[in-house]
Amino acid sequence: MTDVLEFPQCRIVPMRLLGADTTRRLLDRLATIHGVRRILLNGQNLPSTVPYGPSRGLATVHPQRKKIRVLGTEVDLRVQVGSLVLEVEDRSVIDEVRSLCGDFFTDFSCSVQEGRFMKTRPSLSDYARYGPLPDPAMIGLSDPKQKEDPVFLTEPTGCRGDL
Partner 1 sequence: MARKPQFGPGTSIVAENRRRQMDPSRRLPIVRNVTEEDIVLLLGHRAPGSAYPSAHPPLAEQQEPDCPMRKLVSPTEGAKAGDRVRYIQFADSMFNAPCQPYQRTYVEMYRFRGIDPGTLSGRQIVECRERDLEKYSKELIETDLFDPARSGLRGATVHGHSLRLSEDGMMFDALQRCILDRDGIVKYVKDQVGVPLDRPVSVGKPMDEDWLKRKSTIFHSLVGTPLRNDPEYIEYLQRIHSLRTKYGFMPMEG
Residues that bind partner 1 (CB under 8 A): 14-19, 22, 44-47, 50-55, 58, 60-64, 80, 82, 107-108
Shortest distance in whole angstroms from residue 120 CB to partner 1: 27
Bridge-based pairing of strands 110-114 and 9-14 is antiparallel
Name which of 60 and 146 has its Cβ closer to partner 1. Answer: 60
- Minimum distance, C-beta of residue 28 to partner 1, in the bound complex (Å): 17
- Other Cβ atoms less than 10 A from the Cβ of 113: the count is 14
Strand partners, 45: 79
State in angstroms the smallest separation of the CB of 39 from partner 1.
19
For residue 2, give the nearest of 118, 162, 127 by alpha carbon: 127
Centroid of chain to Cα 2: 23
Q: With respect to partner 1, which residue has the nearer C-beta, 52 or 90?
A: 52
In the complex, least distance from residue 107 CB atom to partner 1, rounded to whole angstroms: 7
- The whole-angstrom separation of Cα 31 and Cα 160 is 8
